[in-house]
Structure 1
């Protein structure tokens, strides 16, 4: 998060939006708290995975995109594990 240049409060807000977007996109029924967690952890996961590929996201928009992609990955993994 520090690499993206945003603070903790902004990370929570952006993570919430990213998790909410991913939840709607993946047709998952999660609450607001889980959306925030999915967005924040998803951003960390996606930043790590894209870092391995040499792609980096910066700023608020980059954090939102990374959070969305990472949250979608986490929702998909959760569904695969539950089956």
Structure 2
């Protein structure tokens, strides 16, 4: 059950990051989960493990990390199109 809870929290974090960057419409639910999980790892690596925590993820650093990830991936995808 813990794994499913982690996926749900990752999806919510990814959806928040997509909404904050206006890239949420282009992301599917699998992308939201990946952005949330990888962004959580990245945010906690860069900013530490502070603030409220849910499913083992510090929410504020996780959201910031996911936003960074979404912006970088969106930028890279736009560069590949041109």
Where on the TM-score scale, by shorter chain, does this alignment land: which range? 0.7 to 0.9
Query: Following TM superposition, where does structure 1 have runs of at least 4 consecutive aligned residues deviating by more than 6 angstroms?
Result: none
Bigger fraction of residues in strand: 2
Q: Which moved more, 1:35-44 or 1:61-70?
A: 61-70
Q: Is the 8 A contact 1:18 1:65 kept in 2?
A: no
Point out where structure 2 has 5 or more consecutive residues left out of the alignment.
none
Matched, 1:23 2:18: yes
TM-score by length of 2: 0.75
- What is the alpha-carbon root mean square deviation over aligned residues? 1.9
For the structure 1 residues 64 and 22, does the alpha-carbon distance in structure 2 shift closer, same or farther, using more than 3 Å as the test?
Answer: same
State how many pairs are aligned. Answer: 73
1:2-52 per-position Cα deviation (integer Å, ceiling 9, x unaligned): xxxxx322211111001001111111120111001100110001000013x
Higher relative contact order (CA 8 A, sep 6+): 1
Point out where structure 1 has 5 or more consecutive residues left out of the alignment.
1-6
TM-score by length of 1: 0.74
Q: Give the Cα–Cα distance (whole angstroms) in 1 for the partners of residues 75 and 8 of structure 2.
A: 28
Which residue, out of 45, 53, 56, partners 1:48? 45
